[in-house]
Amino acid sequence: MAQQFCIVNVIITFFIYCDVLIQAYTVPPAKLEAIYPQGLRVSIPDDGFTLFAFHGNLNEEMDGLEAGQWARDITKVKNGRWTFKDKNAKLKIGDKIYFWTYVIKNGLGYRQDNGEWTVTEFVNEDGSPAIIDGQQTQPPAVTTEQYTTKPGPTSGPVPTCMQSQTAVLGRNSICKGELIFSEEFDKTNIRELSNWNLEVKFPQEPDYPFNVYMSDRTVRLDNGLLVISPILLESLHHEGFLNEQLDLSNICTGLIGTRECRQVASGAQILPPVVTGKITTRNKFNFKFGRVEVRAKLPSGCWLLPEITLEPRDSVYGNRYYESGLIRIAFAKGNDIYAKKLYGGPVLSDSEPYRTYLMKEKIGIENWHRDFHNYSLVWKPDGMQLYVDGELYGTIDPGEGFYSSAMQQGVQHASLWARGSVMAPLDKMFYVALGLRVGGIHDFADVNEKPWRNKNNKAMVNFWNAKDTWFPTWYDADMKVDFVRIYAL
């Protein structure tokens, strides 16, 4: 009897302890303001936070902890407040915003759930009441709704941690909503980045782009941004160097003894004429399923291609024709004629029609490379969602499995996926890759204005011979990345 009493007492003590932890910190209520003539501002007072996140929907209730129409992380406090602002939000009296907020304080994460706020008045940029039609509106009050506040993602176990569907290589326990990876590019030297490795190699099959990856003058950090630039190979050596040889074996990250590390020009088979950069987390961070947030400015210039992707760590299903998949988080071609079209989603075959079969498209008002945008991917065990600036533009449903639709499209290697889950081949560990590519034999269709043909063995030299048509367009060719953040589902 005494033993049973002790066990009951321990259990009661544990739940009291957990409840104390849950109530240990309350996130300050968010202040929401409707800006006149348009805009939304959300802020909370600083209390020693290192991150503030706002997630919300306009006139539509949140589905649990979904990303929402607005999904933004703020990493810097200003004038004593953590502030999110959407200058393009068009609000009207009576609109309702459903939201949740999240902060990190002393290494622990806390949420403020079930937020609701109704637009009843407008303010000017400085917070003063706006005058509309000669009438002064009252300043909006700080939100007064009741919230539940629970510990969220942390760097260690928390009694209320709910197990996530996300897996991270080398970790046993992941909590729902946890920030599992963050890169703000706030160092001064690219080699100070602890989460990344620089690629040094000649990219090969299946796309055979017209560039080599090197770090000299192509990858740098600039005022909190990762900057990847394309330069001409001859600018690093001398005119005519494309007809010689380049041996990267001593520093190569590709397969030693192959064309990934050493190439010798021969006739029309010249060296890649462009040098670009690429960094990956392959040896540092690998995960399966999660929400990926990337803020980036895409490159502008003819035949340039951004690489903001997830790539397979082990290529379990094969490594030649995208048998193991590739996930594009943001993809828009650099040519002005194509640049209004944003694509995202998986690439599961090297050639059409299945190469782009699963890709989702968003047509912009302006070219996507004109400015920074927030690109988001939600990768789940039963599908994918793609967002840009908080707006959902694509949902990918595997149905009974990707192998089914791939087999119908004549993809021979699709039979390999039958041994995996419905998400196969996208059911293994992937890593983050950020890079810049040029040309190649699959991403640009053969049209009159293109100086090469994809199946012609002179494709690269024909591209180079047309330098006067594309190189002048590379005046804003840098790809810039502000941050990469990954959250557990």
For residue range 86-128, list pLDDT tens digits in order. 988 999 999 999 999 989 888 777 888 899 999 999 999 988 8
Enter the tokens of residue 303: 């035949």
Tokens of 260: 């990934």
Count of alpha carbons within 13 angstroms of residue 337, beta-carbon side: 8
pLDDT at 58: 94
Parallel, antiparallel, or unpaired for β 211-213 and 274-276?
parallel
pLDDT digits (tens, 9 = 90+) for 1-33: 444 433 334 333 333 333 333 346 889 999 999
The answer to whether 22 and 151 are in contact (CB under 8 A) is yes
- pLDDT recorded at residue 64: 75
pLDDT of residue 130: 83
Q: What is the mean pLDDT of residues 421-445?
A: 98
Task: Reply yes or no on whether the pLDDT at 143 is more than 50.
Answer: no
Q: Which residues make Cβ contacts (< 8 Å) with residue 92, sequence separation at least 6?
A: 119
Say whether domain 181-487 belongs to CATH 2.60.120.200. yes
The model's pLDDT over 377-402, given as tens digits with 9 standing for 90+, comes to: 999 999 999 999 999 999 999 999 99
Q: What is the mean pLDDT of the chain?
A: 89
Q: What percent of the chain clears pLDDT 90, i.e. is strictly above it?
A: 77
> Is the pLDDT reported for residue 145 higher than 50?
no
Question: How much is the pLDDT for 136?
Answer: 54
Residue 487 pLDDT: 95
Q: Say whether pLDDT at 83 is over 90.
A: yes
Percent of the chain with pLDDT over 70: 89
pLDDT tens-place string over residues 315-351: 999 999 999 999 999 999 999 999 999 999 999 999 9
Cα–Cα dist 264/210, whole Å: 15
CB 277, CB 344: distance < 8 Å:
no
Burial 290-326 (b: 16+ CB within 10 A, else e): bbbbbbbbbbbbbbbbbbbbbbbbeebbeeebbbbbb
- Under the banding of pLDDT at 50, 70 and 90, the label for residue 244 is very high
Helix (H, G, I), strand (E, B) or coil at 13: helix
CA distance 420 to 274: 39
Say whether pLDDT at 479 is over 80.
Answer: yes
For residues 369 and 374, what is the distance between their CA atoms, to the nearest angstrom?
12
How far is residue 399's CA from residue 422's CA, in Å, rounded to a whole number? 7
Tokens encoding 224: 């909190």
pLDDT band at 369 (very low <50, low <70, confident <90, very high): very high
Query: Scanning the structure block, which residue is given the tokens 């209320």?
Result: 160
List, for residues 155-207, the tens digit of each pLDDT value: 333 345 788 999 999 998 899 989 999 999 999 999 999 999 999 999 999 99
The segment(s) of the chain belonging to CATH 2.60.40.2140 are 31-158
Q: Measure the CA–CA gap between 216 and 164, rounded to whole angstroms.
A: 40
* pLDDT tens for each residue of 124-135: 998 888 877 656
Helices (H), 187-228: none
DSSP string, 356-416: TTT-EEEE-SS-GGGS-EEEEEEEETTEEEEEETTEEEEEE--TT-HHHHHHHTT-GGGGG
Residue 149 confidence (pLDDT): 40
Q: Provide the token pair at 67.
A: 């990303």
- Rg of the Cα atoms in the chain: 25
Rounded to the nearest 10°, the torsion over CA 164, 168, 173, 177 is -40
Predicted confidence at residue 139, as pLDDT, reads 44
Which pLDDT value is given to residue 135? 60
- Alpha carbon distances (Å) from 185 to 17, 118, 188, 220, 224: 39, 37, 8, 10, 5
Half-sphere exposure of 211 (CA within 13 A, CB side): 25
HEC secondary structure over 280-344: ECCCCCCEECEEEEEEEECCCCCCEEEEEEEEECCCCCCCCCCCCCEEEEEECCCCCCCCCEEEE
Which pLDDT value is given to residue 7? 38
pTM value > 0.75: no
Q: Where in the chain is the domain with CATH 2.60.120.200?
A: 181-487
Is the pLDDT reported for residue 440 higher than 90? yes
Residue 361 reports pLDDT greater than 50: yes
pLDDT of amino acid 151: 44
Confidence of residue 218 (pLDDT cuts 50, 70, 90): very high
Question: What per-residue confidence (pLDDT) applies to 110?
Answer: 86
Nearest one of 86, 87, 108 to 99, comparing CA atoms: 86
- How high is the pLDDT of residue 160? 57
Over residues 47-75, the mean pLDDT reads 87
Within 10 A of 396 (CB to CB), how many other CB atoms are there? 22
Tell me if the domain spanning 31-158 has CATH number 1.10.3470.10: no
Beta bridge partners of 328: 309, 345
Judge residue 109's burial from the number of C-beta atoms within 10 Å of its C-beta, 0-12 exposed, 13-18 middle, 19 or more buried: buried
